[in-house]
């Protein structure tokens, strides 16, 4: 039997039932009566809830649309592949020789699925609180900056992609106004396309106002 | 303040924090500083996990693809609307006059979202075990027969829909063979299209074999 102690140390969790960790690490190509797909199914839902609740508490003023977007940026194959690599899951996975020769241990889908299965297995054996503690710790270590700012950047990027496709131009952001005392400044930004104003928005920083303006412009252009 | 005692009785749960049930029942049209969208976001993930784990335990031999399909048939707007109606959620929802006049209390999306928000609120206040108990009870009452059979029927229906669209004909199921002693019979069924065999499958009953054959035929025709 393999030694899982290093993996368990990285997880900060010791499996009571070793069959559970074995199942979580078994790719379907290995042709055993079990594989990690069922645990992956469970782990996927566990992680959706854990990350959803984490964001729900962390951003008490954000609406459901924002929360969904941040979650989607964390809960996906590339995000989980990152966590799987940190745990070095690849070297533990049981897989067929063919899959092995096909660089299977390094495939994002394999790694991401094994990570979900591991979390599913911990949930089954130890419950939600333990699975939550372990997942959030891993997540915070790999995403030191989960914040609205880094999310909102996506609006500017998305707007630029859209306008280049539809109008062949890049949007411009213009400062229309700034007011208020230093500790409570407010900025008004207009986003323009070919000198035509598409949207304006206020914010506590230029960056915030730009991001809000981009979001509004996106809605406007898609309407 | 409204009286929620009848609703709480139907849920078999009494909210300690009444603001939580109010928020869960408040549609965004009501224009309060809060609405039920954040709780709906949370409840959606809670229900995905609860139903996923329920199916994971109930069907220990089903693979992840089957579990996902059964879950999708339960965790969706029409399923949750059914549960919301059983709870008579519609008469409790806070919504704008415009939405009210627009038959809002009867809209599937409004009802389904309010149901998810209620489960999200129970999860927040009382944890996963309580939310699980309440949801599973409601689910089992409205879906007395959550089984693989009623799911697999969908394969035959899906195949028929597909072949009528692509070939203008209905598939036929033919018994090719039955063998084994009475208590351990095995049936072999072929599914044919215009007298051409698309797939054959074995099963412990004719029904099971037909369903498996339909599933294989679907894969074949979509390949």
pLDDT at B207 (0 to 100)? 86
DSSP states of B63-114 as a string? Answer: -HHHHHHHHHHHSSHHHHHHHHHHTTGGGT-B--HHHHHTTGGG-HHHHHHH
DSSP state of B26: B
**Angle at CA of residue A138, ends A135 and A143, nearest 5°:** 115
Please state, in angstroms and rounded to a whole number, the distance separating the CA atoms of residues A165 and B97.
Answer: 41
Question: Would you tell me how many other CB atoms lie within 10 Å of the CB of residue A101?
Answer: 9
For residues B45 and B119, membership in a common domain is answered with yes
- Chunk chain B into consecutive blocks of 10 residues (it has 223) and report each block's average pLDDT, rounded to whole numbers: 87 96 97 95 98 93 86 88 94 96 94 98 98 94 68 72 80 92 88 91 89 86 71
Sequence-distant (6+) residues with CB within 8 A of A65 are none
* Structure-model confidence comparison of residues A198 and B143, the more confident one: A198
Last residue of a domain, one of B93, B125, B142: B142
Nearest Cα to Cα of residue B196 among B158, B165, B167: B167
For residues B12 and B107, membership in a common domain is answered with yes
Residue B172, marked binder: no
Average of per-residue pLDDT values in chain A: 90
Helix (H, G, I), strand (E, B) or coil at B127: coil
Residue B37, marked binder: no
Rounded to the nearest angstrom, the minimum Cα separation between A125 and chain B is 13
* Range of A4-13, A199-208, B139-148 with top mean pLDDT: A4-13
Please state, in angstroms and rounded to a whole number, the distance separating the CA atoms of residues A173 and A211.
Answer: 10
pLDDT at B146 (0 to 100)? 66
The region of weakest confidence among A37-51, A110-124, A204-218 is A204-218
pLDDT at B223 (0 to 100)? 64
Please state, in angstroms and rounded to a whole number, the distance separating the CA atoms of residues A119 and A45.
Answer: 10
For residues A134 and A162, membership in a common domain is answered with no
Choosing from A9, A37, A64, A116, the catalytic residue is: A116
For residues B100 and B157, membership in a common domain is answered with no
Task: Assess whether pLDDT exceeds 70 at residue A145.
Answer: no
Q: Which positions of B are catalytic? A: 44, 116
Is the Cβ of B116 closer than 8 Å to some Cβ of chain A?
no
A9 is a catalytic site residue: no
pLDDT at B220 (0 to 100)? 82
Domain hosting A210: range is 148-222
Is the Cβ of A72 closer than 8 Å to some Cβ of chain B?
no
Q: Which chain A residues are Cβ-neighbours of B67 within 8 angstroms?
A: 38, 41
For residues B135 and B153, membership in a common domain is answered with no
pLDDT at B127 (0 to 100)? 97
Last residue of a domain, one of A109, A142, A175: A142
For residues A179 and A117, membership in a common domain is answered with no
For residues A74 and A132, membership in a common domain is answered with yes
CATH of the domain at A200: 3.30.160.20
* Beta carbons of B37 and A64 less than 8 Å apart: yes
For residues B39 and B137, membership in a common domain is answered with yes
Is the Cβ of B45 closer than 8 Å to some Cβ of chain A?
yes
Last residue of a domain, one of A82, A113, A142: A142
* Beta carbons of B64 and A37 less than 8 Å apart: yes
Q: Which chain A residues are Cβ-neighbours of B52 within 8 angstroms?
A: 41-42, 44-45
Residue A113, marked binder: yes
CATH of the domain at A10: 1.10.1520.10
From B38, B41, B128, residue closest to A128, measured CB to CB: B128
* Beta carbons of A38 and B128 less than 8 Å apart: no
A125 is a catalytic site residue: no
* Beta carbons of B41 and A128 less than 8 Å apart: no
For residues A168 and A126, membership in a common domain is answered with no
Is the Cβ of A59 closer than 8 Å to some Cβ of chain B?
no
Q: Tokens in use for B145?
A: 């027969």
Q: Which chain B residues are Cβ-neighbours of A42 within 8 angstroms?
A: 52-53, 56
Count of structural domains, chain B:
2
What are the counts of helices (DSSP H) followed by strands (DSSP E) for chain A? 10, 3
pLDDT at B17 (0 to 100)? 96
- The answer to whether the beta carbons of residues A17 and A87 sit under 8 Å apart is no
From B42, B44, B52, residue closest to A41, measured CB to CB: B52
Task: Assess whether pLDDT exceeds 70 at residue A100.
Answer: yes
Rounded to the nearest angstrom, the minimum Cα separation between A154 and chain B is 21
For residues A100 and A163, membership in a common domain is answered with no
Is the Cβ of B72 closer than 8 Å to some Cβ of chain A?
no
* Beta carbons of A42 and B52 less than 8 Å apart: yes
For residues B188 and B132, membership in a common domain is answered with no
- Report which secondary-structure segment, H or E, holds B164: helix B148-166
For residues B132 and B192, membership in a common domain is answered with no
Q: Tokens in use for B10?
A: 């139907």
């Amino acid at each position: 039997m393999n030694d899982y102690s290093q993996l368990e140390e990285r997880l900060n969790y010791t499996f009571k039932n070793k069959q559970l960790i074995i199942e979580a690490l078994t790719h379907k190509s290995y042709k055993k009566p079990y594989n990690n797909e069922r645990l992956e199914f469970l782990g996927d839902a566990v992680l959706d809830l854990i990350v959803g609740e984490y964001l729900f508490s962390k951003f008490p003023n954000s609406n459901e649309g924002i929360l969904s977007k941040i979650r989607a940026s964390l809960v996906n194959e590339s995000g989980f592949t990152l966590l799987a690599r940190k745990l070095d899951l690849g070297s533990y996975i049981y897989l067929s020789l063919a899959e092995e020769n096909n660089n299977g241990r390094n495939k994002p889908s394999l790694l991401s699925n094994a990570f979900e299965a591991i979390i599913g297995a911990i949930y089954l054996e130890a419950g939600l609180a333990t699975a939550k503690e372990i997942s959030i710790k891993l997540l915070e270590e790999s995403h030191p900056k989960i914040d609205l700012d880094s999310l909102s950047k996506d609006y500017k990027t998305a707007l630029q992609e859209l306008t280049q496709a539809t109008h062949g131009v890049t949007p411009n952001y213009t400062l229309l106004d700034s007011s208020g005392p230093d500790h409570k400044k407010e900025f008004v930004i207009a986003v323009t396309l070919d000198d035509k104003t598409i949207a304006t928005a206020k914010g506590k920083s230029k960056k915030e106002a730009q991001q809000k303006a981009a979001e509004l412009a996106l809605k406007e252009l898609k309407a």
